[in-house]
Amino acid sequence: MQDISHHLQAVLRRMAIASSQVGRDAADIQLLAVSKTMPIAAIVEAYEAGQRHFGENYVQEAVEKINALADLPLTWHLIGPLQSNKTAVVAAHFHWVHSIERLKIAQRLSAQRATDLPPLNLCIQVNIDDEDSKSGCHVSDIEALVKAILPLPRVILRGLMIIPKAGNEVAFQQLTALRQHLLATIPTLDAAVFDTLSMGMSADMEAAIAAGSTMVRVGTAIFGQRKQQILE
């Protein structure tokens, strides 16, 4: 586990090289450390190495970690699927949810977000390349979903997220183009707020950065292989 700091530096180097190769500023790309299944000690180690943003997939597991680490100035992102019976606990604990795929979940999060907390940041998960998968909003439904989320008072629509099929790096460019299309067709969508493209993981962060990613979600390259799978 003493490798986490080194791994983190290596990932930041990869991000810096990938961005400079396409003339982007590395400061425009946020690293989200995906700590699912990893122990609290691993998160603390990453924190001590300078990492502040962490991504978790499983609500129950995440809430235990968030509560245990409440004294640290961390930003918590839910990147796994969210069922409606868990929206209240998510609204109470997280700063970001990347996996919005239908209006009902966004409405519940907005209604349940306490007024003494800042609005919850949301990204819509887009199903660009996988017709069979149930994960993500289909492209044809995105515009209506964006328009319906925008007026919700306690959430802020920050952008789009994608988990493409392995090797389908064209999907990253498609997500960038989809953001541009939405900005061009929905006048009330503010590019400075709707500024996030959550895409790229350990194996494909370079391609995602080349295509315009603003947030890469990296687990294995920081924390090593995950041993267990937690099912909710």
Ligand X SMILES: *Cc1c(COP(=O)(O)O)cnc(C)c1O
Binding site for ligand X (CB under 6 A): 34, 36, 57, 79-80, 163, 201-203, 217-221
CA 8 – CA 16 distance, rounded (Å): 12
CA 201 – CA 220 distance, rounded (Å): 9
Residue placing its CB nearer to ligand X in the complex, 96 or 152: 96
Residue placing its CB nearer to ligand X in the complex, 32 or 152: 32
Least spacing, CB of residue 192 vs ligand X, in Å:
25
Residue placing its CB nearer to ligand X in the complex, 35 or 152: 35
Least spacing, CB of residue 187 vs ligand X, in Å:
31
Least spacing, CB of residue 163 vs ligand X, in Å:
5
Residue placing its CB nearer to ligand X in the complex, 63 or 78: 78
Least spacing, CB of residue 26 vs ligand X, in Å:
18
CA angle at residue 123 from 119 to 126, to 5 degrees? 160
Using CB atoms, what's the residue nearest to ligand X? Answer: 219
Least spacing, CB of residue 202 vs ligand X, in Å:
3
Secondary structure of the chain as H, E, C letters: CCCHHHHHHHHHHHHHHHHHHCCCCHHHCEEEEECCCCCHHHHHHHHHCCCCEEEECCHHHHHHHHHHCCCCCCEEEECCCCCHHHHHHHHHHCCEEEEECCHHHHHHHHHHCCCCCCCEEEEEEEECCCCCCCCCEEHHHHHHHHHHHCCCCCEEEEEEECCCCCCCCHHHHHHHHHHHHHHHHCCCCCCCCCCEEECCCCCCHHHHHHHCCCEEEECHHHHCCCCCCCCC
Residue placing its CB nearer to ligand X in the complex, 111 or 168: 168
Residue placing its CB nearer to ligand X in the complex, 116 or 227: 227
Helix (H, G, I), strand (E, B) or coil at 91: helix
Least spacing, CB of residue 128 vs ligand X, in Å:
14
